[in-house]
Structure 1
């Protein structure tokens, strides 16, 4: 009985310490941080494939750093790979279910893919979590109001089949 107050105080300190450690976002491994910076620079320079390569390398170095998934998703969306982007956003949401950027990004990728109703579900989830004045909520609402953009057909996609003719 004489150790009860000390044990209670010690367990309280451990519980508080554990909750603070769990909630805080940690820094990436140093090499992963360099690769993430390279990827973000490549994305800003309009080189999404180079950015994807850097982000995937960073993910191999530090697979527990969740923001890499958001960067990968953004680069995949720029490449027109909305399905892959949605998978990355969902991985980020598995790790942090209330990540506003992941919810909004997934919603935007869904709109780009044509799944506007599913994107509206993401919007209502964002509105319940952070309100209507949240930057992510406003951004997703604007994307939904624009609707899915028509796909642009490139000249390479409509090249006629080559025909081989024999000349005399």
Structure 2
């Protein structure tokens, strides 16, 4: 009796494991709905509708979390909005999917410069240079951005309050 229950348990485990493996898609096959949403998001971004682009691109990433293009385009939208911290995080998501994505490395490096993280931006530049054997436009652009340095921000000075006598 014990042997029969062990055999039944192992058979059920084998069936459930093979069924779950059979239903998975390979990593290089991205859901077509996600790709369609990515195309819509890029069109909205090009048209200047950043809110609509963000919504559609986030949906594309939710439909298929392996859609690296959705993450990089979302990061570009975040940069256009002046949100370098969010852009850095989104580029990191893209780089987790493909560590050698030159566009994501360069974009993250530019966002790091905007945030003031020069040492990390230089690390991205070094990684780009190792990936590119010859001329590399991404590395050239990032090197130029690093040479310029982070944007200069000035503190707003509040105007002195008017007194009751004025």
TM-score (ref. length: structure 1) = 0.70
Residue 100 of structure 2 is matched in structure 1 by 98
- Counterparts of residues 113-124 of structure 1 (less than 5 Å): 113-124=115-126
**Contact preservation (8 Å) 2:68, 2:97:** yes
2:142 aligned to which of 140, 145, 149: 140
> Shift of the alpha carbon at 1:141?
1.0
The answer for unaligned runs of 5 or more in structure 1 is 1-20, 161-168
2:91 aligned to which of 85, 89, 92: 89
User: How many residues are aligned here?
Assistant: 137
Residue 64 of structure 1 is matched in structure 2 by 66
**Contact preservation (8 Å) 1:131, 1:137:** no
> Shift of the alpha carbon at 1:123?
0.5
Counterpart Cα distance in 2 of 1:34 and 1:65: 11
Residue 5 of structure 1 is matched in structure 2 by none
Task: Tell me the alpha carbon deviations over residues 34-62 of structure 1, each in whole angstroms, 9 at most, x when there is no partner.
Answer: 21112111111222222111100111212
Task: Tell me the alpha carbon deviations over residues 59-111 of structure 1, each in whole angstroms, 9 at most, x when there is no partner.
Answer: 12122222211111111111111111111111111121111111111100001
TM-score (ref. length: structure 2) = 0.71
Runs of 4+ in 1 over 3 A off after TM superposition: 157-160
Moved more, 127-136 or 36-45: 127-136
Moved more, 83-92 or 124-133: 124-133
Q: Which has the larger radius of gyration?
A: 2
Counterpart Cα distance in 2 of 1:135 and 1:54: 29
Residue 40 of structure 1 is matched in structure 2 by 42
Q: 1:118 to 1:50 in 2, by over 3 A?
A: same
Q: CA RMSD in A?
A: 2.6
